[in-house]
């Protein structure tokens, strides 16, 4: 132990202090062309990890460029962000620990990065990730303005005993998945909450666009392509579910467009409680509002266990969807939007949904006065 506080200022600007020193936000710069900065993301992250003052917070700013096989292990809270232009983290060999391009056990914010090519051998799980989050506690993973291309898993989080918060904002997921059905574009384990906002998911192979075991899952302002071509996709992919809340929980889907094409390998678009519901009747609910389900004249819009209750539809349309809700009793209709020209929308007053495939009767109206 050091008898007194010592400050060591490194060439790249790292301040390293013994425990008990005043906390600070410290910026590290990564630029391979500038010898006065760190030459790799992994070196900057390692320097931050070595700081003995755990109250310090690190902001790692990465210069424009492609960083090939530059893998980082995050052990303390920090931000890793692009500075000035595109930053591409490309894996051409198995990533760190055969897990991820960035592996974290702590709170982490990522901004403006592209993660590409994370893959490991099938004998090791075949689930290499752009970001592999192994937090076991009350941490936060926040990803902003980032892109995930051709990874076996784009983002994969472990179990945090329902304590972690995961936020995915303004990010794009293209052509992720391994083709085994065991990997997904976004897979969040037992977190406290997941928020996906303004996201685009397309071209996923076999797995789901969004798979969540969180107690609270919100997807809003997003476009999800389920076996269909879309924004930025070079193929339709073979997506299983667009959204799966595996154990139910409190789920909100708002202002989302879900497109299902013939490439899907599972005709359900949104699956609720596939592995059984959280215990307790007040924990599980699904609210779908201002959302459009569009399919190629087949498929199930929303599917839940036979005993599930607590789904409410508001201003939601189903176009070309053979079975809007299964079982129909799972959902009620709370408000009446304008009826679309083809009749494929919620109709008020009778608790029914009229589509080209027939008339579907749902549960009792949640609020008859609004009909």
70 with 42: CB under 8 angstroms?
yes
The tens digit of pLDDT for each residue in 254-301 reads 999 999 999 999 999 999 999 999 997 678 999 999 999 999 878 999
Return d(Cα 75, Cα 367) in angstroms, integer: 49
Specify the pLDDT at position 356: 53
Specify the pLDDT at position 280: 78
Q: Where are the alpha helices (DSSP H) in the chain?
A: 41-49
Give 145's Cβ-side CA count (13 Å radius): 9
| Phi, psi for residue 362 in degrees, rounded to 5 | -100, -175
48 with 59: CB under 8 angstroms?
no
Return d(Cα 214, Cα 218) in angstroms, integer: 10
DSSP for 51-94, please give it.
Answer: -S-TT-EEEEEEEEEEEET--EEE-S-EEEEEEEEEEEEE-SS-
What mean pLDDT is predicted for residues 299-321? 95
The mean of the pLDDT values for the chain is 87
Per the DSSP assignment, residues forming a β-bridge with 8 are 16
Return d(Cα 231, Cα 245) in angstroms, integer: 24
Return d(Cα 283, Cα 368) in angstroms, integer: 24
Domain residue spans of the chain:
1-64, 65-370
Specify the pLDDT at position 66: 98
The tens digit of pLDDT for each residue in 15-69 reads 444 445 678 999 999 999 999 999 999 999 999 999 999 999 999 999 999 999 9
Return d(Cα 194, Cα 173) in angstroms, integer: 16
Give 303's pLDDT tier (boundaries 50, 70, 90): very high
Residue among 219, 218, 220, 213 nearest 248 (CA): 213
């Amino acid at each position: 132990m050091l008898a007194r506080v010592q400050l060591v200022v490194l060439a790249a600007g790292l301040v390293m202090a013994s425990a008990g020193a005043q906390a600070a936000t410290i910026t590290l710069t990564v630029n391979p062309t500038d010898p006065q900065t760190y030459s790799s993301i992994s070196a900057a992250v390692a320097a931050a990890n070595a700081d003995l003052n755990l109250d310090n917070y690190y902001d790692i700013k990465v210069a424009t460029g492609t960083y090939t096989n530059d893998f980082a292990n995050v052990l303390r809270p920090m931000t890793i962000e692009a500075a000035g232009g595109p930053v591409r983290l490309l894996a051409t060999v198995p990533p760190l620990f055969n897990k991820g391009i960035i592996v974290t056990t702590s709170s982490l914010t990522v901004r403006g990065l592209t993660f590409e090519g994370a893959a490991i051998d099938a004998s090791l799980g075949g689930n290499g990730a752009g970001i592999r989050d192994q937090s076991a506690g009350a941490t936060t993973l926040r990803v902003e303005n980032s892109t995930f291309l051709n990874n076996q898993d784009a983002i994969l989080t472990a179990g945090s005993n329902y304590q972690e918060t995961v936020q995915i904002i303004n990010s794009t997921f293209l052509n992720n998945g391994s083709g085994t059905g065991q990997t997904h574009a976004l897979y969040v384990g037992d977190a406290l909450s997941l928020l996906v906002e303004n996201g685009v998911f397309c071209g996923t192979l076999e797995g789901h666009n969004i798979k969540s075991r969180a107690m609270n899952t919100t997807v809003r302002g997003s476009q999800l392509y389920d076996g269909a071509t879309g924004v930025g996709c070079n193929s339709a992919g073979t997506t299983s579910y667009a959204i799966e809340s595996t154990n139910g929980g409190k789920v909100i889907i708002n202002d989302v467009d879900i497109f299902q094409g013939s490439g899907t390998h599972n005709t359900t678009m949104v699956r609720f409680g596939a592995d059984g519901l959280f215990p307790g009747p007040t924990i599980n609910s699904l609210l779908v509002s201002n959302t459009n389900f569009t399919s190629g004249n087949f498929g199930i819009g929303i599917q839940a266990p036979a005993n599930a209750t607590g789904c409410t539809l508001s201003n939601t349309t189903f176009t070309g969807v053979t079975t809007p809700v299964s079982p129909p009793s799972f959902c009620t209709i709370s408000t009446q939007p304008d009826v679309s020209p083809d009749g494929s929308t919620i109709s008020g007053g009778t608790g029914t949904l009229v589509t080209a495939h027939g008339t579907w009767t749902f549960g009792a109206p949640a609020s008859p006065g609004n009909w």
